[in-house]
Amino acid sequence: MNNAGMLMAGLTEAFSAEQVARIIDTNAISWLRVNRVALPSMRRQGNGLLMYVGSTTSQLHEPFIGPYVASKAAGDALAEIMGMEIRPFGIDSVILVPGAFTSGTEHFAELPAPAYPAITQQYGELAKRIETLGDRLHAIDIANGGPLDVSAVGLAAVEVLAMPPGRRPLRMFIDGQRKGTEAIEEISHEKQDSFLRKMGLEDLAFPAPLTKD
């Protein structure tokens, strides 16, 4: 289970290269480290399941969290490609894809500040919108019936574990903001599946995504 994660919020230009490298190391490269420990045993036994906690931002990008989005997109890509490569060994790969949780977490508390505040100042009034990110997301939650509890991610993991091996979808969405990333997933899967078949690699393709009732 890959669940390492950190958040950075600010204008992307104002972050140092070192800050961006740090968040990519935490949110993406750490997944590779964990997988390299687990996969040899899974390959030998001919079964297993890798699970990840990703983010809807890897598919539908948001301003003011550029390093975070880049890191989550990188982790998502690594997870998907490794998932293709391990399917012939009977190993499943599932990315749990939550939206933002505006209660029950410390999403926006004590975030690392961008290394170059002088650059932030050059953006003028735009920079002030960053301070309202949490409130904007919470308002969307309220409009959709209230924020989800963080336990929703754990319940999704339990649901994945109960699914038959080999039939699990690549991604499961837990999105209180209802961004519509499921629709993106359906199109992406169709195109990815078609391309793999053209390459003669259909045995590496994932099952069709889950659809809402």
Q: For position 21, which CATH number holds?
A: 3.40.50.720
Tell me what pLDDT residue 157 has: 97
Is pTM, for the whole model, over 0.85? yes
Answer whether 141's CB lies under 8 Å from 66's CB. no
Which residues form the domain of 144?
12-179
Statement: residue 207 has pLDDT above 90: yes
16: helix, strand or coil: coil
Tell me phi and psi for residue 181, to 5 degrees: -65, -20
Q: Is residue 167 part of a domain?
A: yes
Tell me phi and psi for residue 100, to 5 degrees: -75, 140
78: helix, strand or coil: helix
Tell me what pLDDT residue 107 has: 62
Residues near 196 by beta carbon (within 8 Å), at least 6 away in sequence? 84, 202, 204, 205
Q: Is residue 92 part of a domain?
A: yes
Q: Is residue 209 part of a domain?
A: no
Bridge pairing between strands 171-174 and 91-98: parallel
Question: Model confidence over 67-98: pLDDT tens digits?
Answer: 999 999 999 999 999 999 999 999 999 999 99
**Counted domains in the chain:** 1
Tell me what pLDDT residue 111 has: 81
Tell me what pLDDT residue 5 has: 87
Q: Is residue 56 part of a domain?
A: yes
Question: Model confidence over 118-141: pLDDT tens digits?
Answer: 999 999 999 999 989 888 988 999
Answer whether 155's CB lies under 8 Å from 77's CB. no
Q: Is residue 79 part of a domain?
A: yes
Q: Is residue 32 part of a domain?
A: yes
Question: Model confidence over 159-186: pLDDT tens digits?
Answer: 999 999 999 999 999 999 999 999 999 9
Q: Is residue 198 part of a domain?
A: no
Q: Is residue 185 part of a domain?
A: no
- In the chain, pLDDT over 70 holds for what percent of residues? 96
